[in-house]
Structure 1
Amino acid sequence: MDLTGKIAIVTGVSSGIGRATAEALLARGAAVAGWGRKAPEDLDNERFLFFECDVRDEHAVAEAYTNTQRELGLEIHILVNNAGLGIFGPIDGFKSEDWHAMFDTNVNGLFYCTRAVLPQMKKQHAGHLINVASLAATAGTANLAGYCATKYAVRGFSDALFKEVRPDGIRVTCVMPGSVETNFNGAQPGTDPDPYKMQPEDIAAAIIHALEAPDATMISEIQLRPANVKK
């Protein structure tokens, strides 16, 4: 897909992978509707519009979608479901509200956003859905059972969805990064890049790669790991 002039929605746009993806899309000539609870700082581009949206609230998602179409036009070519939440801990001490917060964000929110854009993409017979999961969707990890459960759900949803909408000309890609240097789980990125973690821009580049794949090709899954391993 040539991204020039395309309309993209990116959720969780305030920082990390979401912001890096928005910047990468803008650099390719796309217009970006950024959805999030907080606007990204210092992202000044005439083709970027921010819409306040908590993806856990299906009515907020519907409103953000309506506002996006009003400002950028009816056609929506790309949705990057990036908004995510990770809370870690042993299951026997896990709070129910934390469990629900993760599922409401990582799974239900992704469903609400996907459901919103699909009718228009089907009408266009074109579109690309990017679902940001995690390597936690491929193997369980102690003290990450809740988070892994949500990301397994995202991967399963993505796999089923691509088979459902491929006849409609819509592509689905599940992106599964390993360790990325972001504010995830309350961590603060260091002043210097961590050589044992990927950067948000690395994941954004993989997303762009999937979006720009030849017309005859759909990249259904991408797994990414840091190249450097601690000895």
Structure 2
Amino acid sequence: MDLSGKVAIITGVSKGIGRATAELLLAKGMVVAGWGRTAPNEFKHPRFHFIRCDIRKEADVQKAYDATVKAAGPEIHVLVNNAGLGNFGPVDGFSSEQWHQMFDTNVHGLFYCTRAVLPAMKKQQLGHIINVASLAGTAGTANLAGYCATKYAVRGFSDALFKEVRPQGVRVTCLMPGSVETNFNGNEPGQQPDPHKMQPEDVAATIVHALEAPQTVLLSEIQMRPTQVK
């Protein structure tokens, strides 16, 4: 798909993968609506619209979608479901609140956002949904049971959705990165890039690669890993 002039929604836009993706899509000539609870610091662009939204709340998502249409027009061409969080620890050490917080963001919020954009994409017979999952959606890891469960759910949802909307010309890609140097889980990126981790810009470039694939090509699943391992 030629991205110039097209409209993208990115969730979790304040930092990390979301922000890097917004910057790259703007550089490609897109109009970007960034949804998040906090705005990205010192980030302004004439084609960037920050829309405050807590995707865990269904009503918030509908308001954000309406605001996006008002700001950018009725055609939505790309949705990057990037917002996500992880609470780590043993299963019997989890609070129910922590468990629900992960599912409300990683799974339920992703569903609300996807459902919001699908009618326009189907009508256009053109659209691309990128669901940012994780390699945690391919193999279980001790002390990551809740997070893995959400990412397995995202992978299953993506696999079913791409088969469902394929006839309408809508593409769905499930992107599964491994270790990325971000603020995920409260960690701060180091001053020097970690050679054993990918950078947010690497993931953003892969998202663009999937979006720019010929319309006859669907990259349904992409797994990403650092080349060097510890």
Question: TM class by shorter-chain length?
Answer: over 0.9
Pairing of 1:130-141 with structure 2 (within 5 A): 130-141=130-141
Q: Give the match's secondary structure for 2:46.
A: coil
**Corresponding residue for 2:22?**
22
Matching of residue 2 in structure 1 with residue 2 in structure 2: yes
How far apart in 2 are the matches of 1:59 and 1:95? 26
Query: Counterpart of 1:33 in structure 2: which amino acid?
Result: A
Computed over aligned residues only, the root mean square deviation of the Cα atoms, in angstroms, reads 0.4
CA separation in 2, counterparts of 1:228 and 1:135? 16
Q: What's 1:34 paired with?
A: 34
Q: Amino acid of the residue matched to residue 68 of structure 1?
A: T
CA displacement, residues 81-125 of structure 1 (integer Å, 9 cap, x when unaligned): 000011100001111100000000000000000000001111111
Deviation at 1:41, TM superposition (A): 0.9
Matched with 2:227 is 227
Match of 2:50 in 1: 50
2:114 corresponds to which residue? Answer: 114
Q: Which residue of 2 aligns with 1:63?
A: 63
Query: What per-residue deviation string (whole Å, max 9, x for no partner) do you get for residues 141-189 of structure 1?
Result: 0000000000000000000000000001100000000000000001010
Find the counterpart in structure 2 of residue 155 from structure 1: 155
Instruction: Tell me the CA shift for residue 43 of structure 1.
Output: 1.4
Structure 2 residues without counterparts, runs of 5 or longer: none
SS at match of 1:172: strand
SS at match of 2:2: coil
Paired residues, what number? 230
Shift of 1:216: 1.1
Instruction: Compute the TM-score of the two structures, normalised by the length of structure 2.
Output: 0.99
Alignment of 1:91 with 2:91, yes or no, is: yes
Q: TM-score, normalised by structure 1?
A: 0.99
Alignment of 1:159-178 (within 5 A): 159-178=159-178
Structure 2 counterpart of 1:159, which letter? D
Q: Distance in 2 between matches of 1:229 and 1:70?
A: 46
Structure 1 runs of 4+ aligned residues shifted over 6 Å read: none
Residue number in structure 1 paired with 2:145 = 145
Paired residue for 1:11? Answer: 11
User: Which sections of structure 1, spanning at least 5 residues, go unmatched?
Assistant: none
The offset of 1:215, in angstroms, is 1.6
Query: How far apart are 1:44 and its partner, in Å?
Result: 1.5
CA distance in 1, matches of 2:107, 2:44: 30
Q: SS at 2:92's partner residue?
A: helix
Q: CA deviation at 1:42?
A: 1.6
Q: Distance in 2 between matches of 1:65 and 1:5?
A: 18
- Give the AA of the match of 2:201: E
The CA distance in 2 between the partners of 1:28 and 1:42, in whole Å, is 20
Pairs within 5 Å for 1:205-220: 205-220=205-220
CA distance in 2, matches of 1:215, 1:164: 17
